[in-house]
């Protein structure tokens, strides 16, 4: 398989964990977890605002529901594949197990460039996905959330489509997370993934005795995860010296003004062209000298082509699967501390869990409550993974995977072996 394949990265990470667990876990449990429980592909044919019927492919994958209903976002990009969604669903299984929420792993995909749709057409497409995929979505089955190309507004349309199909004002239980707060969403969910990344970065700076006031950070991706991470790190006093997105990248050795950059990106849909910085290429961005590199865009950005050139001391994986297994080995040998995605970006799914319980119980939580619970959980899991990594002299990824896969195997064992 190609090095930059999301599914092959997920499978390789799982194989390493399986090898480490081979003496304590039955081989048949590991074999079961090497395959997704369900992979569905279906066709959407909505009529868009040009009056024509358009054809889109979409996917839902449930990798495992050993710990609970499958949880994972909806990716809307032009190149998403069923295999990508399968790899991402598998990673969600480990992420939920590691962060300790009662969910399995799932993911879905809609093959379309979200940025090229008008808001109205995007709404029509999302509603079509829900109507056609309704039997795969539900509080006990699969609970979607935002991922690349989808956001809070889309999650609101999902809830509305489902409650409307039930002939009710609300849904019975939580069918989707990451909704607007007015529709049963939870305060802090939109920022939760980036906030979790920033918390992991703060813990790592502490670990390496790097003063936050002197630390430098580079962020790839300026969407939901990247922009919030950059903003929060900046508020802590960290200097964000480089930021990039799909269109280009910008650099300022004295630190970028993140609030001004956010305004520029909101107006122009990119960080490119930001006045108070120099333009650099996407590959130069990743190789900038800095304390922390946050890949928060897409998969396979750190590969054998650039792993030797990465100059950061710490890599905080905001994105899912940004480092290929081959590159991971190079970074490990070069003593670069990698905070793996299943830990680093788990704040989003942790807060989704709070949203799920809030909606089930018709409660309302405050943002202070949400953020303090997340901080406690991320800190605790970060320390647990670090302890194991140090004890067993392994990478943070191997330690995180070992803990996560062991937990899911224990859940499978407790359920028994049928059907």
Angle at 106 between CA 203 and CA 12, to 5 degrees: 65
Among 86, 298, 323, 407, binds ligand NAD (CB under 6 A): 298
Residue corresponding to tokens 């710490």: 314
Residue 414 Cβ vs ligand NAD, minimum distance, rounded to whole Å:
28
Among 104, 223, 242, 340, binds ligand NAD (CB under 6 A): 223
Which of the residues 275 through 294 are near ligand NAD (CB under 6 A)? 282
| Nearest residue (CB) to ligand NAD, 285 versus 411 | 285
- Catalytic residue list contains 263: no
Residue 170 φ/ψ, nearest 5 degrees = -130, 175
* Nearest-angstrom CA–CA distance, 275 and 6: 35
- Kindly state whether residue 225 participates in binding ligand NAD, applying the rule CB under 6 A: yes
- Kindly state whether residue 296 participates in binding ligand NAD, applying the rule CB under 6 A: yes
Report whether 362 contacts 186 (CB < 8 A).
Answer: no
Number of residues that bind ligand NAD (CB under 6 A): 24
Residue 234 Cβ vs ligand NAD, minimum distance, rounded to whole Å:
17
| Nearest residue (CB) to ligand NAD, 8 versus 224 | 224
Strands (E), 90-207: 104-111, 142-143
Residue 159 Cβ vs ligand NAD, minimum distance, rounded to whole Å:
17
Structure tokens at 328: 């991971």
Angle at 369 between CA 186 and CA 263, to 5 degrees: 55
* Nearest-angstrom CA–CA distance, 123 and 158: 9
Among 106, 109, 188, 348, binds ligand NAD (CB under 6 A): 348
Please identify, among the stretches 45-53, 143-151, 330-338, 410-418, the one whose residues bind ligand NAD according to the rule CB under 6 A: 143-151
Residue 390 φ/ψ, nearest 5 degrees = -70, -45
Residue 69 Cβ vs ligand NAD, minimum distance, rounded to whole Å:
17
- Kindly state whether residue 147 participates in binding ligand NAD, applying the rule CB under 6 A: yes
* Nearest-angstrom CA–CA distance, 142 and 108: 10
Please identify, among the stretches 162-170, 272-280, 302-310, 314-322, the one whose residues bind ligand NAD according to the rule CB under 6 A: 314-322
| Nearest residue (CB) to ligand NAD, 191 versus 291 | 191
- Kindly state whether residue 59 participates in binding ligand NAD, applying the rule CB under 6 A: no
Taking CB atoms, the residue at the shortest distance from ligand NAD is: 223
* Nearest-angstrom CA–CA distance, 405 and 21: 8
3-class secondary structure, 194? helix
Please report the sign of the dihedral spanned by the C-alpha atoms of residue 150, residue 155, residue 156, residue 157. Answer: positive
For the beta carbon of residue 68, count every other beta carbon within 10 angstroms.
18
Please identify, among the stretches 22-30, 201-209, 238-246, 368-376, the one whose residues bind ligand NAD according to the rule CB under 6 A: 238-246
- Which residues of the chain form contacts with ligand NAD (CB under 6 A)? 146-149, 193, 220-226, 244-246, 282, 296-298, 318-320, 345, 348
């Amino acid at each position: 398989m190609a090095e930059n394949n999301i599914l092959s990265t997920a499978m390789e990470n799982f194989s390493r964990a399986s090898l480490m667990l081979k003496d304590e876990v039955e081989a048949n449990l590991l074999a079961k977890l090497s395959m997704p429980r369900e992979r569905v592909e279906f066709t959407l044919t909505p009529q868009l605002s040009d009056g024509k019927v358009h054809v889109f492919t979409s996917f839902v994958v449930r990798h495992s529901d050993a710990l609970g209903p499958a949880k994972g976002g909806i990716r809307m990009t032009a190149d998403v594949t069923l295999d990508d969604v399968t790899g991402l669903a598998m990673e969600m299984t480990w992420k939920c197990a590691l962060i300790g929420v009662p969910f399995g792993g799932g993911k879905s995909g809609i093959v379309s460039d979200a940025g090229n749709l008008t808001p109205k057409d995007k709404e029509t497409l999302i509603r079509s996905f829900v109507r056609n995929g309704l039997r795969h979505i539900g509080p006990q089955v699969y609970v979607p959330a935002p991922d690349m190309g989808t956001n809070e507004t889309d999650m609101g349309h999902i809830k509305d489509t489902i409650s409307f199909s039930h002939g009710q004002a609300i849904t019975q239980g939580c069918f989707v997370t990451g909704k607007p707060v007015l529709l049963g969403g939870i305060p802090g969910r939109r920022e939760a993934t980036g906030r979790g990344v920033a918390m992991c970065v703060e813990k790592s700076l502490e670990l390496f005795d790097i003063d936050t006031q002197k630390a430098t950070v580079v962020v790839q991706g300026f969407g939901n995860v990247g922009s919030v991470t950059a903003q929060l790190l900046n508020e802590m006093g960290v200097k964000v010296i480089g930021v990039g997105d799909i269109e280009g990248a910008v650099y300022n050795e004295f630190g970028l003004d993140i609030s001004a950059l956010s305004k520029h990106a909101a107006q122009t849909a990119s960080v490119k062209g930001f006045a108070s910085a120099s333009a650099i290429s996407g590959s130069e961005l990743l190789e900038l000298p800095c304390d922390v590199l946050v890949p928060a865009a897409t998969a396979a950005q750190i590969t054998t082509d650039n792993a030797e050139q990465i100059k950061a001391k710490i890599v905080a994986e905001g994105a899912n699967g940004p480092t290929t297994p081959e590159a991971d080995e190079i970074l490990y040998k070069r003593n670069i501390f990698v905070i793996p995605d299943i830990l680093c970006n788990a704040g989003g799914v942790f807060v989704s869990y709070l949203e799920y319980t809030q909606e089930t119980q018709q409660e309302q939580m405050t943002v202070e409550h949400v953020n303090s619970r997340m901080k406690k959980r991320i800190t605790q899991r970060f320390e647990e993974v670090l302890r194991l990594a140090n004890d067993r002299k392994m990478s943070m990824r191997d330690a995180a995977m070992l803990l996560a896969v062991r937990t899911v195997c224990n859940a499978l064992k407790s359920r028994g072996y049928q059907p």
